[in-house]
């Protein structure tokens, strides 16, 4: 069983002896992200804990949620739709001419647009309208990989307080520099900066509070970007390559959805859903 706490313990040892063996773990990594609307795990609405043995910036002690808050409500309603880009086809980024260690890189464009205009990597979530309540954290961590000089995934959702496992799959130094929004971009909430010099090592962190989105950069390779939509409820999705998304398990209600894109900013839409029904919300970003 590959429990986060076990991995943190291994990391502590790793840091204590000053080096890691660099051998790949034989266990399979957990899914890259929890599916939207995944069943909640009882007993995790309020999470308090310490993360031993971790160095660098950011919080090591977290208290997430109100232990006395009612459980967050779920249901059988669904929201689905497509996000499109209506402007001209974006130009591809030029490959870097330096950094020979990154020759295998497959650049991930900021504007990932399908032939019909479908826009990928838009973070969609229920911003408001849910009944008061605290949602249990998903049982699994979220994984962020550094592979062939890119972060994977480019855009992901994570709950405040949910473990983020950062992997360096490359035989070179990367760092994971999370910049929370606000005055102290590199020191405030949701901010940390950890170096990962050794291949096949992992670190764990958590984000402190909901924020869409936290930018993650590598200070060694300036094109490397990932974006974390840090949310307080399980109702989020990232648009697929065709621009489609789906959020399931909602209680009936009227909600404000927010759509966030790294280049195009934010848009909101109102939607009303009823039990057992699917509502469709299509949205376009224009130049």
The contact set with Cu ion (CB under 5 A) reads 174, 218, 220-221, 224
| Nearest approach, Cβ of residue 221 and Cu ion (Å) | 4
Which CB sits closer to Cu ion, 160 or 218?
Answer: 218
Distance CA 79, CA 248 (A): 6
Q: Is the distance from CB of 154 to CB of 131 less than 8 angstroms?
A: no
| Nearest approach, Cβ of residue 88 and Cu ion (Å) | 31
Angle at 130 between CA 124 and CA 132, to 5 degrees: 135
Distance CA 229, CA 35 (A): 14
Residue (of 157, 152, 120) closest to 224 by Cα position: 152
Q: Is the distance from CB of 198 to CB of 189 less than 8 angstroms?
A: no
| Nearest approach, Cβ of residue 152 and Cu ion (Å) | 12
| Nearest approach, Cβ of residue 153 and Cu ion (Å) | 16
| Nearest approach, Cβ of residue 187 and Cu ion (Å) | 21
Which CB sits closer to Cu ion, 102 or 130?
Answer: 102
Which CB sits closer to Cu ion, 10 or 220?
Answer: 220
What is the end-to-end Cα distance of the chain in Å, rounded?
48
Distance CA 59, CA 205 (A): 8
Which CB sits closer to Cu ion, 101 or 242?
Answer: 101
| Nearest approach, Cβ of residue 99 and Cu ion (Å) | 9
Which CB sits closer to Cu ion, 66 or 219?
Answer: 219
Residues 6+ apart with CB under 8 A from 56: 192, 193, 194, 195
Q: Is the distance from CB of 137 to CB of 161 less than 8 angstroms?
A: yes
| Nearest approach, Cβ of residue 254 and Cu ion (Å) | 43
Q: Is the distance from CB of 102 to CB of 220 less than 8 angstroms?
A: no
Which CB sits closer to Cu ion, 214 or 271?
Answer: 214
Residues 6+ apart with CB under 8 A from 246: 36, 78, 79, 80, 237
Which CB sits closer to Cu ion, 127 or 175?
Answer: 175
| Nearest approach, Cβ of residue 196 and Cu ion (Å) | 9
Residues 6+ apart with CB under 8 A from 117: 84, 85, 86, 243
Distance CA 144, CA 154 (A): 9
Which CB sits closer to Cu ion, 166 or 281?
Answer: 166
């Amino acid at each position: 069983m590959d429990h986060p706490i076990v991995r943190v313990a291994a990391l502590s040892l790793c840091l204590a002896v000053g080096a890691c063996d660099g051998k790949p773990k034989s266990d399979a990594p957990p899914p890259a992200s929890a599916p939207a609307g995944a069943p909640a795990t009882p007993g995790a609405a309020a999470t308090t804990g310490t993360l031993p043995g971790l160095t660098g910036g950011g919080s090591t002690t977290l208290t997430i949620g109100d232990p006395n808050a009612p459980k967050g409500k779920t249901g059988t309603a669904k929201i689905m739709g497509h996000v499109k880009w209506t402007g001209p086809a974006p130009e591809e980024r030029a490959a870097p001419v330096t950094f020979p260690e990154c020759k295998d890189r497959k650049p991930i464009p900021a504007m990932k647009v399908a032939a019909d205009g479908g826009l990928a990597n838009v973070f969609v979530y229920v911003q408001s309208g849910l009944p008061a309540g605290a949602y249990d954290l998903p049982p699994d961590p979220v994984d962020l990989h550094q592979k062939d000089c890119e972060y994977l995934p480019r855009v992901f959702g994570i709950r405040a307080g949910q473990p983020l496992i950062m992997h360096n799959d490359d035989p070179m130094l990367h760092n994971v520099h999370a910049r929370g929004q606000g005055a102290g971009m590199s020191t405030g909430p949701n901010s940390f900066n950890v170096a990962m010099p050794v291949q096949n090592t992992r670190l764990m962190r958590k984000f402190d509070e909901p924020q869409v989105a936290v930018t993650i950069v590598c200070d060694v390779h300036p094109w490397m970007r990932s974006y974390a939509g840090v949310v307080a409820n399980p109702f989020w999705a990232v648009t697929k390559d065709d621009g489609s998304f789906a959020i399931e398990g909602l209680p009936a209600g009227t909600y404000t959805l927010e759509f966030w894109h790294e280049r195009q900013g934010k848009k909101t839409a109102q939607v009303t859903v009823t039990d057992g029904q699917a509502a469709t919300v299509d949205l376009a970003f224009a130049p």
